[in-house]
């Protein structure tokens, strides 16, 4: 595929080479760091207030069920973090762990009982599921009213048609909040979204379209992605390719959102996380940029909590 993984070391070397030019000292314009952790904290503070209203006035405490199948290690870490943050804001969470050997019927039976449980307002199935499961079919059996991950086709269809009352998937919802923290009015801007998944790229494109943005969706087959990218006012990288977006891919003053979470290992065998964007190089040109970690990740979980609160509010008002 034409998306090439770049080495940060090479880029750092190139960058320092430039710095040695004696006659043109580089004036570094450092981009605003979009602090996802701090924005997530603000959002969660707001959620605590809404949850208090639900409890005080309607005797409802939001409940989130999380189903995890098999022993995927990353899933265990993610679910633990979601449960911890539920507790922080006052959402009751219920983790259901099923063995990877379970038949789809067993999973569907559990989902059915959760769909019918009035104490549970949100239900998510932690992805990825083991390979024998047809994930899109499983997701279709979540009650759309409890689909706080926003992945049921009816909710994606509502997003598509701009019909209110559906759930917006958490990562793209978080991305839009991160963009809005820098710039409110996006009308007429050009955005490039790299990656066309159902979880991120496609729903995010619709959220941007709704704001009057001109959106280009790039995939792994795109020839010369750099060329389209360098015309964009907003760049969202969700390709899962470390250091894909380099300094010369981004135009001066762009807003850059890095959705990538890539696990690499350093020379000493120690694991570390990097995004799809070469932060150091790009932050010299961008107006604002999200770090990895601490950018999109915290906002994704905060948006899951927000969707769960919305589900509980809908339950009360329905």
Catalytic residues: 82, 126, 149
Select from 9-17, 173-181, 187-195, 262-270 the region that touches its own copies (CB under 8 A). 187-195
Of positions 131, 221, 267, 271, contacts its own copies by CB under 8 A? 221
Select from 14-22, 175-183, 200-208, 305-313 the region that touches its own copies (CB under 8 A). 200-208
Q: How far is the CB of 220 from its own copies (least distance, A)?
A: 8
- Residue 156 vs 302, nearer CB to its own copies: 156
Q: SS3 of 60, please?
A: coil
Question: Left if phi > 0, otherwise alpha if psi is -120 to 50, otherwise beta: which for 90?
Answer: left
Q: Describe the strand order of the beta sheet including 63-69 as a list of residue ranges.
A: 92-98, 63-69, 122-125
- By CB under 8 A, is residue 223 in contact with its own copies? yes
CA–CA dist 139, 147 (Å, integer): 8
Beta bridge partners of residue 87, listed in sequence order: none
- Residue 233 vs 306, nearer CB to its own copies: 233
Query: How many CB atoms are located within 10 Å of the residue 231 CB?
Result: 13
Per-residue binder mask for its own copies (CB under 8 A), 136-155, x = binder: x---x----------xxxxx
- By CB under 8 A, is residue 121 in contact with its own copies? no
- By CB under 8 A, is residue 202 in contact with its own copies? yes
- Residue 218 vs 282, nearer CB to its own copies: 218
Containing H/E element for 178?
helix 170-180
Of positions 99, 106, 157, 253, contacts its own copies by CB under 8 A? 157
CA–CA dist 229, 237 (Å, integer): 10
The residue count for binding its own copies (CB under 8 A) is: 37
Q: Report the Cα–Cα distance between both ends of the chain, in Å, rounded.
A: 48
Query: How many CB atoms are located within 10 Å of the residue 240 CB?
Result: 18
- Residue 290 vs 307, nearer CB to its own copies: 307
Q: How far is the CB of 190 from its own copies (least distance, A)?
A: 8
Residue burial 19-57, b: 16+ Cβ < 10 Å; e: rest:
eeeeeeeeeeeebeebbbeebbeebbeebeebbeebeee
Is residue 257 a contact partner of residue 297, using CB atoms and an 8 Å limit?
A: no
Select from 33-41, 46-54, 78-86, 195-203 the region that touches its own copies (CB under 8 A). 195-203
- By CB under 8 A, is residue 94 in contact with its own copies? no
- By CB under 8 A, is residue 187 in contact with its own copies? yes
- Residue 64 vs 228, nearer CB to its own copies: 228
Containing H/E element for 250?
none
Q: How far is the CB of 212 from its own copies (least distance, A)?
A: 5
Write out the E strands in the chain. Answer: 32-33, 63-69, 92-98, 122-125, 190-194, 214-218, 234-237, 255-258, 262-265, 271-274, 288-289
- By CB under 8 A, is residue 212 in contact with its own copies? yes
- By CB under 8 A, is residue 255 in contact with its own copies? no
Q: How far is the CB of 169 from its own copies (least distance, A)?
A: 11
Is residue 111 a contact partner of residue 144, using CB atoms and an 8 Å limit?
A: no
- By CB under 8 A, is residue 205 in contact with its own copies? yes
- By CB under 8 A, is residue 160 in contact with its own copies? yes
Tokens of 42: 């603000």
- Residues at the interface with its own copies (CB under 8 A): 136, 140, 151-158, 160-163, 166, 187-188, 190, 196, 198, 202, 205-206, 209, 212, 214-219, 221-223, 227-228, 231
């Amino acid at each position: 595929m034409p998306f090439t993984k770049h080495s940060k070391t090479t880029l750092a070397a190139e960058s320092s080479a430039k710095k040695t030019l004696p006659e043109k000292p580089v004036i570094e314009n450092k981009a605003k760091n979009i602090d996802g952790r701090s924005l997530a904290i603000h959002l969660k503070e707001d959620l605590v207030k809404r949850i208090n209203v639900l409890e005080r006035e309607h005797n409802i405490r939001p409940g989130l069920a999380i189903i995890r199948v098999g022993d995927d290690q990353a899933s265990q870490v993610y679910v633990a973090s979601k449960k911890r943050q539920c507790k922080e804001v006052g959402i009751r969470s219920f983790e259901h762990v099923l063995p990877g050997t379970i038949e789809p019927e067993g999973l569907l039976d559990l989902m059915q009982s959760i769909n019918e449980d009035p104490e549970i307002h949100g239900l998510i199935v932690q992805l990825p599921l083991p390979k024998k499961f047809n994930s899109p079919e499983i997701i279709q059996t979540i009650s759309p009213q409890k689909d706080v991950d926003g992945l049921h086709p009816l909710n994606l269809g509502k997003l598509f048609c701009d019909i209110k009352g559906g759930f917006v998937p958490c990562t793209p919802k978080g991305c839009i909040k991160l963009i809005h923290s820098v710039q409110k009015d996006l009308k007429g801007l050009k955005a490039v979204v790299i990656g066309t998944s159902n979880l991120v790229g496609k729903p995010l494109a619709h959220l941007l379209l709704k704001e009057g943005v001109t959106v280009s969706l790039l995939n792994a087959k795109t020839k010369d992605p750099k060329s389209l990218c360098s015309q964009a006012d907003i760049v969202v990288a969700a390709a899962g390719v470390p250091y894909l977006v380099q300094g010369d891919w981004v135009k001066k003053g762009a807003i850059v959102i890095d959705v990538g979470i890539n696990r690499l290992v350093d020379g000493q065998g120690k694991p570390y996380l990097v995004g799809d964007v070469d932060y150091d190089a790009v932050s010299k040109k961008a107006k604002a940029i999200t770090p990895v970690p601490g950018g999109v990740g915290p906002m994704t979980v905060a948006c899951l909590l927000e969707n769960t609160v919305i589900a509980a509010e809908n339950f009360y008002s329905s």
